[in-house]
Amino acid sequence: MPLFQSELDLQLSEIEMLQSMFPGENEMRFDHSSSIVDVQQYVDGKRQALPKQLTYTLNMSMESGQVRELSFIIQGPIQGGVEVVFEH
């Protein structure tokens, strides 16, 4: 069983949920779209190493018409765990 399999599987489910919540073009974007595939292959035991990070950005439109950008950087494994860094 790959290291952190259950945590990564949960993270992939959360990303899938976010993709359904933000389906529009440019609402959710990945810096390296292949990273999702790499993580899934790691969880499935088809890949030996995790990508160094998985970075995605959500662009959310506010009632005022402004667009807010939230960046999420998932880095791991770091000191025995997965670190999530939120930037805005």
- Across residues 53-79, what is the average pLDDT? 71
Say if CB 55 and CB 86 are below 8 A apart.
no
pTM: 0.68
Q: What is the pLDDT of residue 20?
A: 92
Angle at 74 between CA 8 and CA 30, to 5 degrees: 100
Count: domains in the chain = 1
CATH number at residue 36: 3.10.110.10
Residue 19 lies in domain: 5-87
